[in-house]
Amino acid sequence: MSSYVKEHVDYVTGLVALALAIIGVVSIYSAVYDAHVSDVASKQLMFGAVGLVALIVVMFLPFKLLQFISYPSYFLSILLLVSVLILGKTVSGSTSWFNLGAFRLQPSEFTKITTALALATYLSRTDVNLQRFNNLAVAAGIVLLPIALIMMQPDTGTAMIYAGMFFPVLYWCGASRFTLLSIVAPLAAAVAALFGITPFFITVIAMGILIYLTKENRILAAVVFSAMVLVGISVQFIYEGLKPYQQKRIATFLDPNADPLGAGYNVLQSKVAIGSGGFVGKGYLHGTQTQLNFIPEQWTDFIFCVVGEEFGFIGAAIVLGLFFTLMIRGIGLASSVKNKYGSTLAIAITSIFAVHVFMNVGMSVGMLPVVGVPLPFLSYGGSALLTNMTMIGLLMNLYSNRKEY
Protein backbone atom coordinates (compact mmCIF):
# COMPACT_ATOMS: atom_id res chain seq x y z
CA MET A 1 0.00 0.00 0.00
CA SER A 2 2.80 2.41 0.91
CA SER A 3 4.57 1.73 -2.40
CA TYR A 4 1.34 2.45 -4.30
CA VAL A 5 0.87 5.76 -2.48
CA LYS A 6 4.47 6.76 -3.18
CA GLU A 7 4.08 5.91 -6.85
CA HIS A 8 0.65 7.41 -7.52
CA VAL A 9 -0.06 10.09 -4.89
CA ASP A 10 1.84 13.38 -4.87
CA TYR A 11 1.35 13.87 -1.17
CA VAL A 12 3.89 16.71 -1.01
CA THR A 13 1.83 18.93 -3.34
CA GLY A 14 -1.35 17.97 -1.52
CA LEU A 15 0.09 18.73 1.92
CA VAL A 16 1.52 22.08 0.75
CA ALA A 17 -1.88 23.13 -0.60
CA LEU A 18 -3.59 21.99 2.61
CA ALA A 19 -1.07 23.90 4.75
CA LEU A 20 -1.62 27.08 2.74
CA ALA A 21 -5.40 26.71 2.99
CA ILE A 22 -5.17 26.28 6.78
CA ILE A 23 -2.92 29.34 7.06
CA GLY A 24 -5.51 31.17 4.97
CA VAL A 25 -8.39 30.33 7.31
CA VAL A 26 -6.30 31.27 10.35
CA SER A 27 -5.27 34.58 8.77
CA ILE A 28 -8.81 35.40 7.62
CA TYR A 29 -10.12 34.75 11.13
CA SER A 30 -7.61 37.25 12.49
CA ALA A 31 -8.47 39.81 9.81
CA VAL A 32 -12.20 39.63 10.60
CA TYR A 33 -11.80 39.12 14.37
CA ASP A 34 -12.88 42.67 15.15
CA ALA A 35 -14.37 43.69 11.80
CA HIS A 36 -17.97 42.53 12.39
CA VAL A 37 -17.90 39.98 9.56
CA SER A 38 -17.21 36.89 11.62
CA ASP A 39 -18.97 34.52 9.18
CA VAL A 40 -16.24 35.09 6.58
CA ALA A 41 -13.81 32.67 8.23
CA SER A 42 -16.44 29.95 8.62
CA LYS A 43 -17.46 30.34 4.97
CA GLN A 44 -13.83 30.00 3.90
CA LEU A 45 -13.54 26.84 5.98
CA MET A 46 -16.64 25.45 4.27
CA PHE A 47 -15.27 26.38 0.82
CA GLY A 48 -12.05 24.64 1.79
CA ALA A 49 -13.93 21.44 2.67
CA VAL A 50 -15.80 21.50 -0.64
CA GLY A 51 -12.53 22.27 -2.42
CA LEU A 52 -10.89 19.25 -0.78
CA VAL A 53 -13.67 17.05 -2.15
CA ALA A 54 -13.16 18.60 -5.60
CA LEU A 55 -9.42 17.94 -5.34
CA ILE A 56 -9.96 14.26 -4.56
CA VAL A 57 -12.54 13.81 -7.34
CA VAL A 58 -10.34 15.48 -9.97
CA MET A 59 -7.27 13.56 -8.81
CA PHE A 60 -8.98 10.24 -9.63
CA LEU A 61 -10.59 11.25 -12.94
CA PRO A 62 -9.39 9.16 -15.92
CA PHE A 63 -6.47 10.96 -17.53
CA LYS A 64 -7.91 10.69 -21.05
CA LEU A 65 -11.20 12.18 -19.84
CA LEU A 66 -9.43 15.42 -18.90
CA GLN A 67 -8.26 15.88 -22.46
CA PHE A 68 -11.65 14.82 -23.87
CA ILE A 69 -13.55 17.49 -21.90
CA SER A 70 -11.02 20.27 -22.50
CA TYR A 71 -12.74 21.98 -25.42
CA PRO A 72 -16.36 21.48 -24.23
CA SER A 73 -15.53 22.86 -20.77
CA TYR A 74 -13.69 25.81 -22.36
CA PHE A 75 -16.65 26.77 -24.54
CA LEU A 76 -19.01 26.38 -21.58
CA SER A 77 -16.87 28.73 -19.51
CA ILE A 78 -16.83 31.26 -22.38
CA LEU A 79 -20.63 31.09 -22.41
CA LEU A 80 -20.64 31.79 -18.66
CA LEU A 81 -18.36 34.80 -19.16
CA VAL A 82 -20.78 36.17 -21.74
CA SER A 83 -23.75 35.44 -19.47
CA VAL A 84 -22.23 37.17 -16.46
CA LEU A 85 -21.94 40.39 -18.46
CA ILE A 86 -25.71 40.26 -19.01
CA LEU A 87 -27.03 38.68 -15.81
CA GLY A 88 -24.18 39.17 -13.36
CA LYS A 89 -24.03 41.17 -10.16
CA THR A 90 -21.95 44.36 -10.15
CA VAL A 91 -19.66 44.72 -7.13
CA SER A 92 -17.15 47.59 -6.79
CA GLY A 93 -17.72 48.55 -10.41
CA SER A 94 -17.05 45.06 -11.81
CA THR A 95 -19.75 42.75 -13.20
CA SER A 96 -17.95 39.51 -12.43
CA TRP A 97 -20.31 37.46 -10.26
CA PHE A 98 -23.50 35.46 -10.42
CA ASN A 99 -25.54 36.07 -7.28
CA LEU A 100 -26.54 32.70 -5.80
CA GLY A 101 -28.21 33.89 -2.62
CA ALA A 102 -25.70 33.70 0.21
CA PHE A 103 -22.85 33.00 -2.21
CA ARG A 104 -21.40 34.54 -5.36
CA LEU A 105 -19.97 32.56 -8.27
CA GLN A 106 -17.14 34.12 -10.30
CA PRO A 107 -16.87 32.42 -13.72
CA SER A 108 -13.52 34.03 -14.54
CA GLU A 109 -11.92 31.96 -11.77
CA PHE A 110 -13.06 28.61 -13.16
CA THR A 111 -12.23 29.73 -16.71
CA LYS A 112 -8.55 29.73 -15.71
CA ILE A 113 -8.79 25.94 -15.50
CA THR A 114 -10.69 25.47 -18.76
CA THR A 115 -8.36 27.85 -20.63
CA ALA A 116 -5.34 25.90 -19.40
CA LEU A 117 -7.02 22.63 -20.45
CA ALA A 118 -7.92 23.93 -23.93
CA LEU A 119 -4.50 25.49 -24.49
CA ALA A 120 -2.74 22.28 -23.45
CA THR A 121 -4.97 20.22 -25.74
CA TYR A 122 -4.27 22.42 -28.75
CA LEU A 123 -0.53 22.75 -28.21
CA SER A 124 -0.14 18.99 -27.70
CA ARG A 125 -1.44 18.23 -31.19
CA THR A 126 1.23 16.76 -33.45
CA ASP A 127 0.32 19.09 -36.32
CA VAL A 128 0.78 22.27 -34.26
CA ASN A 129 4.05 24.15 -34.62
CA LEU A 130 4.50 27.48 -32.85
CA GLN A 131 6.93 28.57 -35.56
CA ARG A 132 3.91 28.87 -37.86
CA PHE A 133 1.94 32.08 -37.50
CA ASN A 134 -1.49 30.48 -37.88
CA ASN A 135 -0.81 28.01 -35.04
CA LEU A 136 0.52 30.79 -32.82
CA ALA A 137 -2.54 32.90 -33.63
CA VAL A 138 -4.95 30.10 -32.61
CA ALA A 139 -3.08 29.55 -29.33
CA ALA A 140 -3.19 33.29 -28.66
CA GLY A 141 -6.90 33.35 -29.51
CA ILE A 142 -7.65 30.68 -26.90
CA VAL A 143 -6.21 32.99 -24.25
CA LEU A 144 -7.28 36.35 -25.69
CA LEU A 145 -11.00 35.44 -25.91
CA PRO A 146 -11.50 35.11 -22.12
CA ILE A 147 -9.18 38.09 -21.56
CA ALA A 148 -11.40 40.27 -23.77
CA LEU A 149 -14.58 39.17 -21.99
CA ILE A 150 -13.02 39.67 -18.56
CA MET A 151 -11.79 43.14 -19.51
CA MET A 152 -15.39 44.01 -20.39
CA GLN A 153 -16.46 43.32 -16.79
CA PRO A 154 -13.93 45.04 -16.17
CA ASP A 155 -11.45 42.98 -14.12
CA THR A 156 -7.93 43.94 -15.13
CA GLY A 157 -6.20 41.88 -12.44
CA THR A 158 -7.79 38.57 -13.44
CA ALA A 159 -7.18 39.27 -17.13
CA MET A 160 -3.48 39.79 -16.37
CA ILE A 161 -3.31 36.29 -14.85
CA TYR A 162 -4.30 34.77 -18.20
CA ALA A 163 -1.70 36.85 -20.03
CA GLY A 164 0.95 35.94 -17.47
CA MET A 165 0.21 32.24 -17.89
CA PHE A 166 0.49 32.33 -21.70
CA PHE A 167 4.14 33.37 -21.96
CA PRO A 168 5.64 30.47 -19.90
CA VAL A 169 3.47 28.01 -21.82
CA LEU A 170 4.79 29.33 -25.14
CA TYR A 171 8.36 29.04 -23.87
CA TRP A 172 7.75 25.51 -22.60
CA CYS A 173 6.24 24.42 -25.91
CA GLY A 174 9.20 25.60 -27.95
CA ALA A 175 8.34 29.07 -29.21
CA SER A 176 11.36 30.80 -30.74
CA ARG A 177 13.29 33.55 -28.99
CA PHE A 178 12.02 35.98 -31.59
CA THR A 179 8.40 35.03 -30.90
CA LEU A 180 8.87 35.49 -27.17
CA LEU A 181 10.62 38.84 -27.67
CA SER A 182 7.82 39.93 -30.00
CA ILE A 183 5.42 39.52 -27.07
CA VAL A 184 7.65 40.90 -24.33
CA ALA A 185 9.10 43.93 -26.15
CA PRO A 186 5.86 45.94 -26.56
CA LEU A 187 4.83 45.18 -22.97
CA ALA A 188 8.25 46.24 -21.65
CA ALA A 189 8.10 49.46 -23.67
CA ALA A 190 4.61 50.23 -22.37
CA VAL A 191 5.62 49.76 -18.73
CA ALA A 192 8.85 51.74 -19.20
CA ALA A 193 6.90 54.61 -20.80
CA LEU A 194 4.94 55.01 -17.56
CA PHE A 195 8.17 55.85 -15.74
CA GLY A 196 9.28 58.55 -18.18
CA ILE A 197 11.21 59.24 -21.38
CA THR A 198 14.62 58.00 -20.17
CA PRO A 199 13.45 54.52 -19.04
CA PHE A 200 11.48 54.25 -22.28
CA PHE A 201 14.50 54.98 -24.48
CA ILE A 202 16.73 52.61 -22.48
CA THR A 203 14.15 49.82 -22.84
CA VAL A 204 13.70 50.43 -26.58
CA ILE A 205 17.46 50.31 -27.18
CA ALA A 206 17.92 47.17 -25.07
CA MET A 207 15.00 45.34 -26.70
CA GLY A 208 16.15 46.48 -30.14
CA ILE A 209 19.56 44.91 -29.56
CA LEU A 210 17.99 41.65 -28.36
CA ILE A 211 15.68 41.52 -31.39
CA TYR A 212 18.66 42.11 -33.69
CA LEU A 213 20.67 39.32 -32.02
CA THR A 214 17.92 36.77 -32.73
CA LYS A 215 19.02 36.98 -36.39
CA GLU A 216 15.43 36.72 -37.51
CA ASN A 217 14.13 38.02 -40.84
CA ARG A 218 15.07 41.71 -40.86
CA ILE A 219 11.68 42.80 -42.16
CA LEU A 220 9.89 40.98 -39.32
CA ALA A 221 12.41 42.38 -36.84
CA ALA A 222 11.71 45.90 -38.12
CA VAL A 223 7.96 45.34 -37.78
CA VAL A 224 8.32 44.16 -34.17
CA PHE A 225 10.64 47.05 -33.33
CA SER A 226 8.24 49.57 -34.88
CA ALA A 227 5.31 48.04 -33.00
CA MET A 228 7.25 48.27 -29.75
CA VAL A 229 7.96 51.97 -30.30
CA LEU A 230 4.36 52.71 -31.27
CA VAL A 231 3.00 50.90 -28.22
CA GLY A 232 5.31 52.89 -25.96
CA ILE A 233 4.33 56.18 -27.56
CA SER A 234 0.61 55.37 -27.37
CA VAL A 235 0.74 54.62 -23.63
CA GLN A 236 -0.13 58.19 -22.72
CA PHE A 237 -3.21 58.13 -24.96
CA ILE A 238 -4.29 54.79 -23.53
CA TYR A 239 -3.73 56.06 -19.99
CA GLU A 240 -6.04 59.03 -20.65
CA GLY A 241 -8.74 56.62 -21.84
CA LEU A 242 -8.69 54.53 -18.65
CA LYS A 243 -11.31 54.85 -15.97
CA PRO A 244 -10.38 57.21 -13.11
CA TYR A 245 -9.90 54.39 -10.60
CA GLN A 246 -7.53 52.61 -13.01
CA GLN A 247 -5.52 55.82 -13.49
CA LYS A 248 -5.31 56.22 -9.72
CA ARG A 249 -3.97 52.70 -9.31
CA ILE A 250 -1.20 53.31 -11.85
CA ALA A 251 -0.35 56.71 -10.34
CA THR A 252 -0.30 55.14 -6.89
CA PHE A 253 2.06 52.42 -8.09
CA LEU A 254 4.44 55.06 -9.42
CA ASP A 255 4.16 57.15 -6.24
CA PRO A 256 2.00 55.81 -3.35
CA ASN A 257 2.60 59.04 -1.40
CA ALA A 258 0.86 61.09 -4.08
CA ASP A 259 -2.54 60.21 -2.58
CA PRO A 260 -1.83 58.75 0.89
CA LEU A 261 -5.44 59.01 2.07
CA GLY A 262 -7.01 57.90 -1.20
CA ALA A 263 -5.70 55.52 -3.86
CA GLY A 264 -2.38 55.05 -2.07
CA TYR A 265 -3.87 54.36 1.36
CA ASN A 266 -4.05 50.56 1.15
CA VAL A 267 -0.52 50.22 -0.19
CA LEU A 268 1.00 52.47 2.47
CA GLN A 269 -0.91 50.77 5.30
CA SER A 270 0.05 47.37 3.89
CA LYS A 271 3.75 48.29 3.92
CA VAL A 272 3.40 49.60 7.49
CA ALA A 273 1.71 46.35 8.59
CA ILE A 274 4.31 44.06 7.02
CA GLY A 275 7.24 46.19 8.17
CA SER A 276 5.95 46.46 11.74
CA GLY A 277 5.88 42.68 12.11
CA GLY A 278 9.66 42.54 12.39
CA PHE A 279 11.36 39.16 12.55
CA VAL A 280 8.90 37.15 14.66
CA GLY A 281 5.71 39.25 14.39
CA LYS A 282 3.42 40.80 16.96
CA GLY A 283 1.61 37.58 17.72
CA TYR A 284 -1.63 36.04 16.54
CA LEU A 285 -4.62 38.40 16.95
CA HIS A 286 -2.24 41.14 18.17
CA GLY A 287 -1.49 42.92 14.91
CA THR A 288 -2.22 46.62 15.33
CA GLN A 289 -2.97 47.35 11.67
CA THR A 290 -4.99 44.15 11.37
CA GLN A 291 -7.07 44.35 14.53
CA LEU A 292 -7.78 48.09 14.17
CA ASN A 293 -8.93 47.56 10.57
CA PHE A 294 -6.53 50.07 9.01
CA ILE A 295 -6.74 48.16 5.71
CA PRO A 296 -10.33 47.82 4.36
CA GLU A 297 -11.40 44.21 3.69
CA GLN A 298 -7.91 42.97 4.48
CA TRP A 299 -9.11 39.36 4.31
CA THR A 300 -9.28 39.57 0.50
CA ASP A 301 -6.41 40.93 -1.59
CA PHE A 302 -4.22 42.14 1.31
CA ILE A 303 -4.28 38.98 3.42
CA PHE A 304 -0.47 38.74 3.16
CA CYS A 305 -0.30 41.75 5.50
CA VAL A 306 -1.82 39.66 8.31
CA VAL A 307 0.92 37.07 7.92
CA GLY A 308 3.64 39.72 7.77
CA GLU A 309 2.40 41.69 10.76
CA GLU A 310 1.36 38.91 13.16
CA PHE A 311 3.92 36.24 12.22
CA GLY A 312 6.72 38.52 11.01
CA PHE A 313 9.52 37.68 8.61
CA ILE A 314 9.48 34.05 9.73
CA GLY A 315 5.77 33.65 8.95
CA ALA A 316 6.07 35.41 5.60
CA ALA A 317 9.11 33.29 4.71
CA ILE A 318 7.22 30.09 5.56
CA VAL A 319 4.29 31.09 3.35
CA LEU A 320 6.56 32.08 0.46
CA GLY A 321 8.57 28.88 1.01
CA LEU A 322 5.40 26.81 0.66
CA PHE A 323 4.53 28.61 -2.56
CA PHE A 324 8.09 28.11 -3.82
CA THR A 325 7.81 24.39 -3.06
CA LEU A 326 4.56 24.28 -5.01
CA MET A 327 6.21 25.96 -8.02
CA ILE A 328 9.22 23.63 -7.94
CA ARG A 329 6.96 20.58 -7.72
CA GLY A 330 4.90 21.87 -10.65
CA ILE A 331 7.94 22.49 -12.85
CA GLY A 332 9.41 19.12 -11.88
CA LEU A 333 6.13 17.44 -12.73
CA ALA A 334 5.99 19.19 -16.12
CA SER A 335 9.50 17.87 -16.81
CA SER A 336 8.72 14.28 -15.82
CA VAL A 337 5.30 13.78 -17.44
CA LYS A 338 5.71 11.70 -20.61
CA ASN A 339 2.55 13.04 -22.25
CA LYS A 340 2.91 16.46 -23.95
CA TYR A 341 -0.64 17.39 -22.99
CA GLY A 342 0.05 16.67 -19.33
CA SER A 343 3.38 18.47 -19.42
CA THR A 344 1.83 21.60 -20.96
CA LEU A 345 -1.09 21.54 -18.53
CA ALA A 346 1.28 21.23 -15.55
CA ILE A 347 3.31 24.27 -16.62
CA ALA A 348 0.12 26.25 -17.32
CA ILE A 349 -1.28 25.58 -13.84
CA THR A 350 2.08 26.27 -12.19
CA SER A 351 2.30 29.55 -14.09
CA ILE A 352 -1.17 30.59 -12.90
CA PHE A 353 -0.12 30.06 -9.29
CA ALA A 354 3.23 31.82 -9.84
CA VAL A 355 1.69 34.91 -11.44
CA HIS A 356 -0.90 35.14 -8.66
CA VAL A 357 1.74 35.03 -5.94
CA PHE A 358 4.08 37.44 -7.72
CA MET A 359 1.37 40.02 -8.34
CA ASN A 360 -0.33 39.77 -4.94
CA VAL A 361 2.83 39.90 -2.84
CA GLY A 362 4.24 42.57 -5.16
CA MET A 363 1.26 44.84 -4.63
CA SER A 364 1.23 44.15 -0.88
CA VAL A 365 4.78 45.46 -0.53
CA GLY A 366 4.25 48.35 -2.96
CA MET A 367 6.33 46.96 -5.83
CA LEU A 368 3.37 46.46 -8.20
CA PRO A 369 0.10 48.33 -8.80
CA VAL A 370 -3.02 47.25 -6.91
CA VAL A 371 -5.04 45.29 -9.46
CA GLY A 372 -7.24 43.12 -7.26
CA VAL A 373 -5.41 39.79 -7.49
CA PRO A 374 -5.99 37.39 -4.56
CA LEU A 375 -3.27 35.31 -2.91
CA PRO A 376 -3.95 31.63 -3.72
CA PHE A 377 -5.42 29.61 -0.83
CA LEU A 378 -5.04 32.52 1.62
CA SER A 379 -7.35 35.28 0.33
CA TYR A 380 -11.05 34.97 1.07
CA GLY A 381 -13.16 33.83 -1.87
CA GLY A 382 -15.11 30.66 -2.55
CA SER A 383 -14.69 30.60 -6.33
CA ALA A 384 -10.94 31.24 -6.05
CA LEU A 385 -10.39 28.58 -3.39
CA LEU A 386 -12.41 25.97 -5.29
CA THR A 387 -10.44 26.78 -8.44
CA ASN A 388 -7.12 26.51 -6.63
CA MET A 389 -7.99 23.19 -5.02
CA THR A 390 -9.21 21.84 -8.36
CA MET A 391 -5.92 22.83 -10.01
CA ILE A 392 -4.02 21.02 -7.26
CA GLY A 393 -6.19 17.98 -8.00
CA LEU A 394 -5.19 18.25 -11.66
CA LEU A 395 -1.50 18.38 -10.75
CA MET A 396 -1.91 15.31 -8.55
CA ASN A 397 -3.79 13.55 -11.34
CA LEU A 398 -0.91 14.29 -13.72
CA TYR A 399 1.57 12.96 -11.16
CA SER A 400 -0.36 9.72 -10.86
CA ASN A 401 -0.40 9.32 -14.66
CA ARG A 402 3.02 10.84 -15.39
CA LYS A 403 4.33 7.69 -17.09
CA GLU A 404 1.50 7.49 -19.63
CA TYR A 405 2.19 8.58 -23.21
187, pLDDT greater than 60: yes
Q: Encode pLDDT of 16-44 as tens digits.
A: 999 999 999 999 998 888 766 668 888 89
User: Is residue 113 very low, low, confident or very high in pLDDT (cuts 50, 70, 90)?
Assistant: very high
Amino acid at 383: S
> C-alpha angle with apex 173: 167 to 177, nearest 5 degrees?
65
The model's pTM: 0.90
Buried b (16+ CB within 10 A) or exposed e, 116-146: bbbbbbbbbeeebebeeeebbeebeebbebb
CA distance 203 to 235: 14
Amino acid at 163: A
Q: Check residue 246 and give its pLDDT.
A: 67
Q: In percent, how much of the chain has pLDDT > 70?
A: 91
Q: Check residue 4 and give its pLDDT.
A: 66
Neighbour tally for 39: CB within 10 Å: 10
Amino acid at 250: I
Q: Encode pLDDT of 373-402 as tens digits.
A: 899 999 998 889 999 999 999 999 999 988
Q: Encode pLDDT of 61-101 as tens digits.
A: 998 899 999 999 999 999 999 999 988 877 766 788 788 77
CA distance 166 to 81: 19
Specify whether the CB–CB gap between 191 and 177 falls below 8 A: no
